[in-house]
Structures are given as C-alpha cells and as structure tokens.
Structure 1
Amino acid sequence: MTLAWALALICLVLVVLNLISDGIAIRNSKPRATPLPPAPDSPGVSIVRPCCGIDNFCEETLGSSFKLDYPSYEVIFCVARSNDPVIPVLQKLIAANPAVPATLIIGDERISANPKLNNCVRGWEAARHEWVILADSNVLMPRDYIQRLLAAWQPTTGLVCSMPQGSHPQNLWAELEIAFLNTYQARWQYAADGVGTGFAQGKNMLWRRDILDDAGGIRALAAEIAEDAASTKVVRAAGLEINLVDSPFPQPLGKRTLGDVWSRQIRWARMRRKTFPLHFFPELLSGSATPAIIGAYAAGLFGVTPLAGAALVLAILYSGETALALSNRWHFSWRLPFLFLLRDLMLPVVYFDAWLVNDFVWRGTEMTMREKERPST
C-alpha cells in the first residue's frame, strides 16, 4: 500500500504541475479584442523574412508583411538560391505594394551549418532600423504585429519572441500538429516565461540591434545548431530576459502528412537535447503519458481498474488543455482530445529518439549535431 500511495502522490504532483502550466498560459496569453494601435513615437522597424520554397498559404503569409498598421517599417526578404520558386511570388508582392519599402536579397552567407541563419545574415546587415524582427516566411502577421512585439519589451528585456499558433488546418494531421504546437509547446513556453526562465523561439524574434551587436552581431548566432538556442544564450549572458507576446501569431498549416508532423517534432527535440540537455532531460514528464501510466499502476494497486485510473488522469489534463485553447480562441474541434492522446503516445518515442539520433533533414539540407559544423568557405 505504501507503493500505491507513493505512486498516487507522484501522479498528483505531475497532474498539478500540468494544470499550473495551463493556468500560467491562460493568464499570460490573451487574445486581443481590438488591434493595438501604434504608439505616437513608434520607432522604425526592419522585418527580415528568410524564405525557402513554397509553403501552404505562401501568398497570404508573405503578403501580410505589407498590410501592417505601422507608420515606419521596411521588409527585407532573403532567398538563398536564385532558382527558388518563391522568388516570383515575392517579386509580385513587392510590385503590388509600392507604398511599403521592401527589398529582395538573393544569396546567403555560409557562416554556419544552419541554412536559415545563413539566409538571414545579409538581411540583418542591410536593415536600416535599430529594431529588427526576424520572422519566418510562414507567419501570418496581424495588422498590429509590430506594436504587439514592441509592447512586450520591458526595461530588462533582451529579446521578444512569439511561438507559432497552429491555425487553418485542412486535414487530420494538421490538427495533430496543432495538438503539439498550441496546448503543448506554447503552453510550456508560456509557463517557462511565467517563472522567469523564458527561451527564445525562432519563429518571431524582435531584437534591439545593439544587444546582438554587443555579442558579435548576427554571426554570433552560429555558435549553436539552432539560432533560437544561440539567441537564448546571448540574452542570458547579457543579464537580460526573453519575453513573449500577449498571444502567439498564427501559422496557417493547410494540409499535413503524419511524416511532416513527425519529422518536425524529432528535429526540434534533437536540437533541444543538443543545445539545452539539462532542460531537455525532464521533458519526458511534460506530457500526459507519464502521469497516466503512473496513475494506472497506482489504481491497480488500490484495486481499481488501471484503465479507469489512466482515463481519469487524461480527462483532467485534457480538460486543462481544452480550457487553454478555448480561452485563447485557438482552433479546437471534437477530434483534438483524441489527437492529444496520439500526441502523448508519440512524445516518449520522440524523447528517446532525441537522445539516440543526431542527424536530421531541414528543407532538403542534411544537418548533424555530432560535432560543431564548420562554415563553408
């Protein structure tokens, strides 16, 4: 009976920690009823968007760069290869929006093994303003995008980020990706931010140029395989904090395959393990699988059907995730609780894979974490 009570206590602690993370995310992530107007003294801002290939909703996400309600900003699109199919799309958008200063830079700088970072270097160096946003090409920017990033900046801030909010799913596997992105990854990132241990997220990053320049400029981000991990270490080394926006910006997903979702999750997990191994170590406890298994075993020791114990734990945890999604007006459907379960069955496999495998492919580029990569010359 002592073992049963010990397991029940462990299960309770894990459930409470998950519910606390839901509560922190609900408190800190709130949808805006109306767009945030720009401040009268709004500073100039440069938006650098690295582009590679044609994504779902490509014209909508890239086109949103030109629809921002902000008085002084420029957009710099960066493409590594001259034969990239996204170039005609960018040229069309730039020509259709002459009122917004926009530049297309073709060609990258091979400073690291990270092709996205290589693609950003020339854009960063060409940026005219003191405030620079690095934003992925698949972000759907709301009209108040810039001012919401700036509003999160505090005197102790060194970087403001937004993780992706999965939206516009067009099939089942896109909804599975939403189960990963929204009420799991975004939730834990808001929870970390809420207790003062925020991490950078490379989807949207607002820099004040002098902070990164003091660390060696954008080339300093080549110190890690992932630019957001390097950004986290740069900001912490400066004694500053990473803050998050009031609510994540949408990433329209469209159609996904199970392979798409799987490859992204194992890639991100391997990079987290490589760059922050001590923080990655307890990730196995962050999903619902561990408390559900412990709860099932404890229930059996108490003479209750193990399936009932696991079902009770999952019902409590998924109720918290549902509350988070609904409070933020994120995508939610009757399928999502079942996809939460599939996600939580996948997470332990993703976790152990991350400890065992070092290689992955990102947009056709083979990458490894076996040793520090040397830039090509």
Structure 2
Amino acid sequence: MTSHTIPVYLWFVIGLCCVASAHAAVAALLHSVKGIARTDHEPQRTHGLDGVPVSVLKPLCGEEPRLFSNLESFCRQTYPSFQLLFGVASANDPAASVVRRLARCYPACDIELVIDVAMHGSNRKVGNLINLAARAKHDVIVIADSDIAVESDYLSRVTAPLSDASVGVVTCLYRARRIGGFWARLGALFIDEWFAPSVHMANTFGHAKFGFGATLALTRHTLGRIGGFEALRNCLADDYWLADRVRALGLRTVLSDVVVATDVTERDLTSLWRRETRWLRTIRSINPVGFAFLCITFASPWLLTGALLGLAFDTSGADLAQSTADMIVDASTSLGLSARLLLHWRCARSARAFWRDLPLIPLRDVLMCAQWAAALFGSSVVWRGVRVPLDGEMQSGDGYDGNAPEQLRN
C-alpha cells in the first residue's frame, strides 16, 4: 500500500500534531524560570548607568489587593538616586491614600503623588503618564505597572543595558503571583506556562518585537524622539507601540534578565476570559501572522488528537501507510507529552505546586485554544470596563473610568 490510502487532510493534521509537539519540546528546553535566555552570550551589567538618577513613573487607578507591598518594593531599591512618581486622576482614588501612607513609611525616598485630572487623549493610562512625565526630574525613565513587585537590585539591572547607545528600550518579563483560588490559578498558568515560554523562545531566536507594561526603561532623549507619551495618547496597546516607535528609530529592544512578579486576581471565568481574550485579540491586531500560528502552542488538544489518531491506526489495519502514520503520531504524542510535563515541572514553584496544578494543564490548554478561536473574530476588546476598538487607535470618548478598578491590566 502507498501513502495515498490516507487522505491528504489527515497527513496535514498529523503534521500539525508533530509541529505542536516540537514546539512544546523547544519551549520546555529553552524556558528558564530564573531569567531570560541570552542571545549574545554576554552577561548584562548589574551596576546601572554608573548611578545616573532615575525617575520611576507608576500610573495608578484604584486600590489592588497588594498595592502597598508592590509599591513598597520600589522604595527598597539599592540604586543610589531615584525618584518615585505615582499618578492618579482623582484625589478620591483609593490609591492616593496608599501612596501617602507609603511616603510616611519611607520619608528618605523621593516620593511624589501627582493628582491631575487632565486626560490628554483617549488612553487615560497614557494621559496619566503624560502628567507624571511633566514632573520627572531625571533623564532616565522607568515605567512600571502598579501590580508588580521587584527585587532590591531591580533599577540597577533594568537600566544597565541603556549604557549601550544601540539600545533604545529595556523591558521585563513577569511571573504570576496568584491571589485567589481556582480561576487565579488558571490565570497564573496562562502567564507562567504559555506566555513566558513563548517570550523566551522569541527572544532566543532573535525576535525582539515586544514591549511589556511590567517595565519599560528608556532615556528622556529617546522618549522625546518618538514624540513623547503624547504620541501614544490614543493607542490601545501603548506599551507595545512605545517600544515599536523606539525600534523605528533604529534602536534595539532588550529583554532584561530581570523577571518581576505580577498579581493575578481573577475570581471568575468571565473576568479571566475577558482579560486573556483581550490579550489574544491585541496580538492579532499587532501581528496577524504570529497570531495565526499560536494555535500550535496549545499542546493538550494536539496531544489528544495525536493519541486518538494513533488509536484509530492501531485498530484499522496494518498497511504501510497506516503503520508509518501510526509510528509518527505515537512518537509525536510521546515527545509532546514528555515536553509538556517537563515545562510544567520547570515552571512549578515546588513539588506540591507541580502535583496540585497538574490536573489543570489540559483544562488550561483547552481554554486557551477556545480563547484563541474566539479571538479570531471581533473588532474590539473589553479594557478597563469598556469596549474599545482594535484599530490601533482608541476613538474619542473611549478609555476607562478614572475610578475603575485596575484588575484589567494593560
């Protein structure tokens, strides 16, 4: 018998199963839970820009479960000179009282609370950044989301690559810190076992077209060259577009070896679905080709497909074509399963976490597959409680309520 006894479409499905298993294997081997895989084989400097003062801009909106401790981690930096600017749109924002308490606890820190209702554009987070930038004292700017916690050497390490004139912006990957129960656990797996490994792979193979709100570090001069934050005032994915505009200047994006912790607080399927589908739709709007290939990164559905195909070949005969296909899918499924378990083991914080979350892996992968399918359609996303278009520009009047919770992170 020849291979034409198996339909072409079935060979195509077998090929996709093999590609998915190969992707899982590469992701598991390259993933590092402690840092970022380096592509230039040179260690990043850890002493910053020789102590050049830094202004840290943190737009805030609402009080999050760990807001005080997250902000406090920035006060404990060993960096010699830095300014902390916290911005809110209203004096009644609960985050303002948190910043005041922080200032009382750390009187030696240069802390300023900026309360400014000026909007500047449709993206109110960017409007907040515009207000903060006007009060920045220093020529090195670090922008950081409100829901991240950092180590004491964070500023030294994230600013270090800026000493290279070819570097325009430095960004950081993040790991999930779960706050809550079942749905927060699923959300943490999304970040730790899909998003982070994908970024590691992209970085290893030289694809540096990203920018994450967890951290963006650049100089005031570079920010001015792209038109300042004003150029982003109507952009939805402002963190990505900031880095993209810097790259358009011919400067590089560097993924720092610093990995910060970010809070995952979803309490139900609806909030989890909205946040993750928003991320996926945003990826689709920025990189349609890359989005299309994301379907092979959800391992469990492909492993199940491969296992079912292998079972079907085992029970349907033993001609040459079927025997060959059976051997291929069996090998692919075994490789993919081993790789998925290895990735989970490398991401787990402890043996207990490994076994506790292991039953969630198939559910997590199937849910991501469903979210990817949903993200294929639709021209808008729900961001900070309102629906905004996916055309790169938020229309006038879109944005979020200044008193809306920060749980829908940019």
> Which TM-score band applies after superposition, normalised by the shorter structure?
0.7 to 0.9
Residue 121 (structure 1) aligned with residue 127 (structure 2) = no
In structure 2, the gaps of 5 or more residues are 38-44, 317-325, 399-410
The alignment covers a number of residue pairs equal to 372
Pair 1:289–1:230, CA change in 2 (3 A): same
Residue 241 (structure 1) aligned with residue 247 (structure 2) = no
- Would you say the 8 A contact 1:165–1:181 is kept in 2? yes
**CA offsets, 1:305-354, max 9 Å, x none?**
9998997465323223124315x889944232222221211112211222
Residue 189 (structure 1) aligned with residue 199 (structure 2) = yes
Pair 1:156–1:311, CA change in 2 (3 A): same
What pairs with 1:199-210 in structure 2 (closer than 5 Å)?
199-210=210-221
TM-score (norm 1): 0.87
Structure number with larger C-alpha Rg: 2
**CA offsets, 1:47-79, max 9 Å, x none?**
100111111211111222211111100000011
Distance 1:235 1:164 in 2: 22
Pair 1:309–1:292, CA change in 2 (3 A): farther
**CA offsets, 1:251-279, max 9 Å, x none?**
23367333332221011112222222232
- Would you say the 8 A contact 2:60–2:95 is kept in 1? yes
SS of residue matched to 2:376 = helix
**CA offsets, 1:279-315, max 9 Å, x none?**
2221112221453254235314431699989974653
- Would you say the 8 A contact 1:215–1:234 is kept in 2? yes
What pairs with 1:293-372 in structure 2 (closer than 5 Å)?
293-303=304-314, 312=334, 315-326=337-348, 332-369=353-390, 372=393
Name which of structure 1's ranges 107-116 and 69-78 shifts more when overlaid on structure 2: 107-116
Residue 282 (structure 1) aligned with residue 290 (structure 2) = no
In the TM superposition, what is the alpha-carbon distance from 1:9 to its structure 2 partner? Answer: 4.3
**CA offsets, 1:149-191, max 9 Å, x none?**
1234444322111133102444222211111011210111121
Name which of structure 1's ranges 329-338 and 99-108 shifts more when overlaid on structure 2: 329-338
Question: For residue 17 of structure 2, what is the amino acid of its counterpart?
Answer: C
Question: For residue 385 of structure 2, what is the amino acid of its counterpart?
Answer: G
Distance 2:183 2:237 in 1: 25
Distance 1:127 1:62 in 2: 18
**CA offsets, 1:103-135, max 9 Å, x none?**
111125434332222221111222111111110
- Would you say the 8 A contact 1:28–1:194 is kept in 2? no
Aligned partner of 1:49 in structure 2 is 58
Task: Identify which of 164, 181, 204 aligns with 2:174.
Answer: 164
- Would you say the 8 A contact 1:163–1:202 is kept in 2? no
Name which of structure 1's ranges 159-168 and 128-137 shifts more when overlaid on structure 2: 159-168
Task: Identify which of 180, 192, 215 aligns with 2:190.
Answer: 180
Task: Identify which of 81, 91, 107 aligns with 1:72.
Answer: 81
Pair 1:294–1:242, CA change in 2 (3 A): farther
- Would you say the 8 A contact 2:192–2:347 is kept in 1? yes
Question: For residue 325 of structure 1, what is the amino acid of its counterpart?
Answer: C
- Would you say the 8 A contact 2:243–2:253 is kept in 1? yes
TM-score (norm 2): 0.81
Question: For residue 130 of structure 1, what is the amino acid of its counterpart?
Answer: D
- Would you say the 8 A contact 1:200–1:229 is kept in 2? yes
Pair 1:290–1:233, CA change in 2 (3 A): farther
Residue 103 (structure 1) aligned with residue 91 (structure 2) = no
Aligned partner of 1:292 in structure 2 is 303
Residue 144 (structure 1) aligned with residue 153 (structure 2) = yes
SS of residue matched to 1:196 = coil
SS of residue matched to 2:257 = coil
Task: Identify which of 18, 26, 39 aligns with 1:20.
Answer: 26
Percent pairwise identity: 24
In structure 1, the gaps of 5 or more residues are none
Distance 1:121 1:330 in 2: 45
Distance 2:59 2:297 in 1: 32
| RMSD of aligned alpha carbons | 3.1
In the TM superposition, what is the alpha-carbon distance from 1:357 to its structure 2 partner? Answer: 2.1
SS of residue matched to 1:41 = coil
- Would you say the 8 A contact 1:222–1:230 is kept in 2? no
Aligned partner of 1:62 in structure 2 is 71
Question: For residue 205 of structure 2, what is the amino acid of its counterpart?
Answer: V
SS of residue matched to 2:355 = coil
Name which of structure 1's ranges 193-202 and 69-78 shifts more when overlaid on structure 2: 193-202
SS of residue matched to 1:26 = coil
Pair 1:341–1:155, CA change in 2 (3 A): farther
SS of residue matched to 1:248 = strand
Aligned partner of 2:272 in structure 1 is 261
Question: For residue 320 of structure 1, what is the amino acid of its counterpart?
Answer: L
Pair 1:165–1:98, CA change in 2 (3 A): same
Distance 1:18 1:44 in 2: 42
